[in-house]
Amino acid sequence: MMWWATGDEHLNHGNIISKFIFRPFRDAAAMNAELIKRHNERVKPGHTVYHIGDFKVSTDGPSVHELTAMLNGNHVFINGNHDKRNGLNTPLKFCIIESYGRQIVLAHKPEDCNFIMGLLGINLGFCGHIHITWKFRKAEHGDLVNVGVDQWGYYPVDAKQLFKVYKNWLREGCPDTGIPAKTRQGDTDGSEVVSVVAGINGNEV
């Protein structure tokens, strides 16, 4: 079975372009169109796509059903922090898949992914939520991979590519893939970044 992972699309969300992540799109409509185009360039009908949270943010623009109809594949939606009032209504907080001989936890927030990995004795998790902050990270209970679109050229990523890039990271000695706070566009110091990653205020992206 061909499967793909993605997350943090933030469809319809204008502020993700101009306030939070500074994505290279003119407006939310242009971002929607390009993300849908890139999705369909890779995902074919019949493929399975795991969306690991924050599929759509604003109620402006197309609905979840309208957006899903534009996207190839069979979709599995995992709840993100912005998926409470956006029409998605997914009951899934996390799921476990098995691929390439590995069990993998899928959960939106890295801290939740790591916690579930510890409970279940699984040492690999795919997550999102932290956008550009890092791509790979060693956690208490294993390795975390950020599958959000900001880390993968605004494309979904397939299992083969995920494991190839992950294994390269392991071979290189697990280097830090984080971006220092002061080098991120729009940041003035590290405080904003910490609050987003830890999820300790109302300004999560």
Phi, psi values for residue 122, rounded to 5°: -110, 140
pLDDT in tens, 97-149: 999 999 999 999 999 999 999 999 999 999 999 999 999 999 999 999 999 99
Angle in degrees, CA 43, 122, 50, rounded to 5: 20
What three-state secondary structure class fits 170?
helix
**Hey, what domains does the chain have and what are their CATH numbers?**
3-198 (3.60.21.10)
Measured CA to CA, the distance from residue 77 to residue 80 in angstroms comes to 9
Instruction: Show the tokens assigned to 157.
Output: 């990523």
Residues of the chain with pLDDT under 70: 179-205
pLDDT of residue 113: 98
Measured CA to CA, the distance from residue 197 to residue 204 in angstroms comes to 8
pLDDT of residue 180: 52
pLDDT of residue 37: 98
